[in-house]
Amino acid sequence: MTTNIFEVVIGRDQLRWDAVWRVIEWLAEPAEGHALERQFQAKLSEFCLGTAAEPIAIEVEYYLGKDADDRSRHPDLVVAHPDLRKPKSIALIDDLGVCSPNSMRKIRNLLVYAEMSASKFPNADRRIVVITDTTQVEKFVKLNEAFASNTLASLSYLPLQVIGSWISEMGRPKERIVEDFVEWSTSL
């Protein structure tokens, strides 16, 4: 029996989302040792920003600013083109797991991110992306309702299974660790 490092580090039933963000950031950096070059970055950019834009900036725990209650806000991951100072397009990314698909705390955070990004980047194409561990996005009833009339940012879901399938479509991974990620993410 072989051990999948992602099963050990990130988990399966209770995901350690902070590790997920670091892995996605790593996969999106062409110079890293995953041998995916710019392919993953292009797929992530295309999904999150609507186009395979270059250059992109990606940051884990991005400081968005202080909200109306003077609380610091940090989306888990941000992808922007061409940069984070004056983006033409920006995606603020957070997680919402299948174990709590209607978490009001998470939903409020996402709504605040949409509001704050509209104020901070009024001329940018703004998107909220929810990375999740399920392909059954119909489970996110309250989030869909909350964003149904929201005009500040569009909402989309990116299941981890889809991220794994992108890499599979790029051909057999050259690195064992990337192969482990594909195996782990597509089996969720």
Look up tokens 């989306």; give the residue. Answer: 75
What is the model's pLDDT at position 3? 82
Mean pLDDT score, 85-104: 95
Q: Would you state the pLDDT for residue 165?
A: 97
Output the six-digit token pair for 176: 């064992």
Res 118 pLDDT > 70: yes
Under a CB-based contact definition with an 8 Å cutoff, are residues 143 and 102 in contact?
yes
**Domain assignment present for 165:** no
Residue 32 lies in a domain: yes
pLDDT interval class at 35 (50, 70, 90):
very high
In a domain, 61, yes or no: yes
For residue 80, being part of any structural domain is answered with yes
Residue 176 within a domain? no
Q: Which two tokens stand for residue 119?
A: 């104020």
Total of domains in the chain: 1
Residue at 184 is within a domain:
no
Bridge partners of 91?
79, 127
Cβ-based neighbours of 76, under 8 Å, separated by 6 or more: 17, 18, 21, 60, 61, 93, 94, 95
Whether 164 is covered by a domain: the verdict is no
Answer whether 160's CB lies under 8 Å from 105's CB: no
The owner of tokens 């270059």 is: 54
At 172, the pLDDT band (50, 70, 90 cuts) reads confident
Q: Got the DSSP string for the chain?
A: -PPPHHHHHT-SSS--HHHHHHHHHHHH-TTSTTS-TTHHHHHHHHHHHSS--SS-EEEET---EE-TTS-EE--SEEEEES-SSS-SEEEEEEE--TTSTT-HHHHHHHHHHHHHHHHH-TTSEEEEEEEES-S-GGG-HHHHHHHHT--SSEEEEEEHHHHHHHHHHT-S-SSHHHHHHHHHHHT-
Task: Flag whether pLDDT at 1 surpasses 70.
Answer: no
CA–CA gap between residue 153 and residue 110 (Å, rounded):
10
Does the residue 90 lie in any domain?
A: yes
Say what the pTM is: 0.95
Domain span at residue 37 reads 5-159
